[in-house]
Amino acid sequence: MAYSAPLFQMFVALLALAAPALGSRSKCTARDSCVTQSCPNPIAQQYPNLVSGTLNGTTLIVPIPLEQARALIPQEYTILENAYRGLLASFPAGMYPLMVTVAVDHDLQLPAYNVTVGDFSRSALEFPFLDILGNGYSNFRWAATMMVTSTAQAAITGSEGLGLTIYPSAFEPACDPYAPQPDGSLLMHSESVTPGGADAKFMTVQTQASPGIVPYPLTFIRNVTNQPTFANTSACDNYIRLYNTSNSAGPHEPQPVSGTVLANLDPFTTNQTWAGVYGWNYATSFIEPPVPGKCADLANFIDS
């Protein structure tokens, strides 16, 4: 996932919550009341000892002032500006690539343990290209806050176990990452279910096709989405999105988009509006170790 729930904790929680259902398998339904349009997981049997699934959603890159990013990101994590400029020489001077993620996790499986997990949605603001080891070259992505489907207790419990701040949330649409609108755009909205009045957390993402303007090539998106993620440096998640499976081929090929983001979500403390931003709507398969690893062990991580 752009930052997935820590899967070992998630599956432990699932065992406690739903042990009688372990023999059953998802039939592409996120919940009993709706059916997702996401494609099934095509790689589970290929990677029986890893968690795998389909991740379907949107990744947008939002240029924010580098000084603002420095104020939001914990000071002990160095921003590797040369790393993202090496990939995108045209990226605006004095800016930093904030990553907006909205997605549905579908058909999660760990075949070696005969475990499946029901679908859930999530949204987050993520910060790539961080040096957390002090070696000047290893890129990590900080994702310490996430909105997660309020009924996905296993995902919530697992994520909180690794230090994430989780806002149990309602998503519209409930089972897909975005819904078509009459004007041809795609819309997703998430909102925390805990009463908060003006302080309620939310994210709204509206996109439209942008085939003629693609400032962030898919190779760049592949890089940022495959950087090991962390909430704090006690453990890192070597989550790998695979862009070469049936989930990303044929009629399911990634589509470049432009869009608008409205959000009230940590680490920002006020409502944010970003218009005219660009990225991709797409689905990929993913694999992930069931147990998060030590961040230092991923120092030489190579984009897969």
Cα angle at 258 between 36 and 226, to 5 degrees? 65
Q: What is the pLDDT along the chain (304 residues), one digit of tens a residue?
A: 333 444 434 433 433 333 222 222 223 333 345 688 899 999 999 999 999 999 999 999 999 999 999 999 999 999 999 999 999 999 999 999 999 999 999 999 999 999 998 899 999 999 999 999 999 999 999 999 999 999 999 889 888 877 899 999 999 999 999 999 999 999 999 999 976 665 789 999 999 999 999 999 999 999 999 999 999 998 898 889 999 999 999 889 999 999 999 999 999 999 999 999 999 999 999 999 888 889 998 876 544 3
DSSP string computed for 52-90:
EEEEEEEEEEEEEEHHHHHHHS-TTSEE-HHHHHHH-TT
Query: How far, in whole angstroms, is CA 183 from its chain's centroid?
Result: 27
Q: Which CATH class is domain 7-298?
A: mainly beta
Q: Decide if 290 contacts 51 (C-beta within 8 A).
A: yes
- Per-domain boundaries in the chain: 7-298
Task: Give 259's Cβ-side CA count (13 Å radius).
Answer: 30
CB 255 within 8 A of CB 186: no
Contact between residue 159 and residue 166 where contact means Cβ atoms under 8 Å apart: yes
